[in-house]
Amino acid sequence: MVTLRDLEAALATALETAGRGHRGANPLVGACILDQDGNLIATGYHLGAGHPHAEVDALRRLGTLNSATARTLTMVVTLEPCNHTGRTGPCAKAIADAGIGTVYYAVSDNTAASGGAQYLRSRGITTHRLDDDAAARALNHRWFLSKKQQRPFITVKLAQSLDARINAPDGTSQWITSEQSRNHAHGLRSRVDGILVGTTTALFDNPRLSARTKDGQLHSKQPYRLVMGHRELPSTLDLIRGDDWEQIKTHDVHEVIQRANELGLAHLLIEGGATVASAFIEADLADELYCYQAPLLIGAGSSSVNLPTTTLSQAHRYRLDTASNDSLTRLGEDIMLHLEPLPRA
């Protein structure tokens, strides 16, 4: 018999397993499968958009089952199984096809992918929502908000010195962060749908905004490149090569989001500069921050973030995203913090 205690332990394991993935176009999700005595026999997680969902990942690890055995199994998932064919097929159908007898999930899906629980019940599977879903909700609180606000999930990258400078007064800034940090940031680029920079960054740094491996090869998935601002971009800029880019002539972050939605960009990475990053932070549109810090004190030059704050209570508060496995990491000589905004009370 599977006890309530077994279910609680399975949910805790599923939450921890979920942290191995990356939040973005899709939420973090973890799944566990228990046998009829409540023993954990498989776990699964969702690595990120384009990869198998957690339920399918867990089922895959089980191997082939006969239907009598499958019927005795219980799946515990941090999020209601999807009922939606996106880059992968619907999980509810995969669970039903595998013949699993019972499903518990923590958080209801109220997005376009909802309806999984209802579908499972229609296929004769005992399906319940777990009562205590606070941790599972916290796991994706900003992702749910981005869906509610009908906009991309937004990642802001800050790369700075210990004293939060992004350059010296004469503009020198190249290689503030380590090679390992830059490789990590390229991994981030390879997971998003679009990258945004301001015209100043485009003109001054002339970035390619491509996602490259350590060896300089292009990742299989490349982000769409967006430049925000009014200044003219010369055709010699590196990011202008190819068709997958455009300039959005605005200083309004909401116009950028509208255009990202039109383009179907579900995960947007804000690469800077400080003005663009600050505009998204100030508008409470930064769903997560990656803050790369190089161990140096520059002592002058531009700050990574500038906000119209006058008093401390207006500061934007975050927490280490400890649901993810990368919340505080050394990258060569650098450190990296992965943060999320504190949920509203």
Can you give the binding site for a copy of itself, defined by CB under 8 A? Answer: 158, 161-165, 167-170, 172-174, 176, 278, 281-282, 291, 295-301, 303-320, 328, 330, 333, 335, 337, 339
Nearer to a copy of itself, 134 or 300 (CB): 300
Nearer to a copy of itself, 146 or 278 (CB): 278
- Nearest approach in angstroms of CB 338 to a copy of itself is 11
User: Looking at 8, 16, 55, 179, which residue is catalytic?
Assistant: 55
DSSP 165: B
Nearer to a copy of itself, 92 or 298 (CB): 298
Nearer to a copy of itself, 129 or 319 (CB): 319
String of b and e for 230-247 (b: at least 16 CB within 10 Å)?
Answer: eeeeeeebebbeeeebeb
Nearer to a copy of itself, 119 or 292 (CB): 292
Say if CB 294 and CB 160 are below 8 A apart. Answer: yes
Say if CB 99 and CB 93 are below 8 A apart. Answer: no
Show the tokens assigned to 265.
Answer: 């960009």
Which residue in the block uniquely carries the two structure tokens 């990574």?
304
CA distance 50 to 44: 15
> Residue 100's closest CA among 149, 133, 58?
58
Show the tokens assigned to 273.
Answer: 């500069």
Tell me whether residue 55 is one of the annotated catalytic residues: yes
| β-sheet with 267-272: strand ranges across | 245-248, 224-228, 194-198, 267-272, 153-161, 288-294, 334-341, 328-331
- Nearest approach in angstroms of CB 139 to a copy of itself is 18
- Nearest approach in angstroms of CB 76 to a copy of itself is 29
Which residue in the block uniquely carries the two structure tokens 């999700």?
29
Would you please indicate which residues are annotated as catalytic (active-site) residues? 55
